[in-house]
Amino acid sequence: MMGPYANAAPYYDLLYGFKDYDAEAEVIAATIREAAPGARTILDVACGTGKHAAALVARGFHVDGVDLEPRFLELARARCPSGAFTLADMTSLDLGLRYDAVVCLFSSIGYVLTVPRLEQTVARLAAHVAPGGVLLVDPWFEPGELTHGFTMATVGESEGLRVTRSSRTLIEGDTSLLEFTYVVERGGSVEEMKETHALGLFTREQTCAAFARAGLSVQVVPSALRKRLLYVGTHA
């Protein structure tokens, strides 16, 4: 089992140093507590390196996590030693546990690619929500929101290490392809790596229908995180 960041995992936190995990965790915590007062346990699906998890632990929650990338899980375990972090695919998730809240953040849901897999995944996430609990899904872009051919670059630097990630976005039907090129400069050496990430472009209607199929009532909160929607599901 291998995640899409298999090659670049060691540089992930460096490249996302600009991201305000603490501010996002504040919104997530408030949303969870509004929907499920008294919530204590969270499952962070596609947890990455555990930065959201750590910020939620600091706000009084017990957080476990799952991810496809083993290196991310190593970092998450070191960052959140109180939690259990498991290698697992969210499309077939079956931990045999339920949580007061299940969260899937930073657009990770886009990696399921197709509507049938979206429905399957939301059903598996919902199966891990305890009675009275809540499911939060932070989506990827909807169709028509991305620009075909868009390019950008991100640079991270720390203690003699410089990583530049250039990206190009391609749109093929209801799929966005992100072509990443990494240039890693350290100690006079230069290494280049390439990755392509494919993410599905789901409409609001498709996502809400997936929640309904999973037996959840869904509230769509505008501009909740990074000026995007947040889907908040509770047992119908």
Write down the pLDDT at residue 201: 98
Nearest to 137 by CA among 50, 214, 51: 214
Write down the pLDDT at residue 7: 81
> Per the structure, how many domains does the chain have?
2
Do the domain assignments include residue 169? yes
Do the domain assignments include residue 76? yes
Q: Quickly count: other Cβ atoms within 10 Å of residue 94's Cβ.
A: 10
Q: Say yes or no: 206 and 195 in one domain.
A: no
Binning pLDDT at 50, 70 and 90, where does residue 2 land?
low
Non-local (6+) Cβ contacts of 9 within 8 A are 3, 69, 71, 72, 75
Domain with residue 122: its CATH number is 3.40.50.150
Q: Say yes or no: 55 and 94 in one domain.
A: yes
Q: Say yes or no: 155 and 133 in one domain.
A: no
Do the domain assignments include residue 26? yes
79-133: pLDDT as tens digits = 999 999 999 999 999 999 999 999 999 999 999 999 999 999 999 999 999 999 9
Q: Say yes or no: 76 and 193 in one domain.
A: no
Do the domain assignments include residue 196? yes
CA angle 69, 144, 26 (to 5 degrees): 50
Give the percent of the chain with pLDDT over 90.
Answer: 92
Nearest to 183 by CA among 198, 169, 170, 195: 195
In the predicted structure, residue 166 carries a pLDDT above the cut 70: yes
Do the domain assignments include residue 231? yes
Domain range spanning residue 122? Answer: 9-142+202-235
133-157: pLDDT as tens digits = 999 999 999 999 999 999 999 999 9
Q: Say yes or no: 196 and 215 in one domain.
A: no
Q: Say yes or no: 115 and 27 in one domain.
A: yes
Cβ proximity of 122 and 152 under 8 Å? no
- Residue length of the chain: 236
Q: Say yes or no: 120 and 66 in one domain.
A: yes
In the predicted structure, residue 236 carries a pLDDT above the cut 90: no
Do the domain assignments include residue 4? no
| Higher pLDDT, residue 3 or 68 | 68
Cβ proximity of 36 and 134 under 8 Å? yes
Domain with residue 160: its CATH number is 2.20.130.10
Give the percent of the chain with pLDDT over 70.
Answer: 99
- Output the pTM of the full model: 0.96
Do the domain assignments include residue 3? no
Q: Quickly count: other Cβ atoms within 10 Å of residue 123's Cβ.
A: 17
Q: Say yes or no: 73 and 95 in one domain.
A: yes
Do the domain assignments include residue 185? yes
Q: Say yes or no: 94 and 193 in one domain.
A: no
Q: Say yes or no: 106 and 161 in one domain.
A: no
Mean pLDDT of the chain, nearest integer: 96
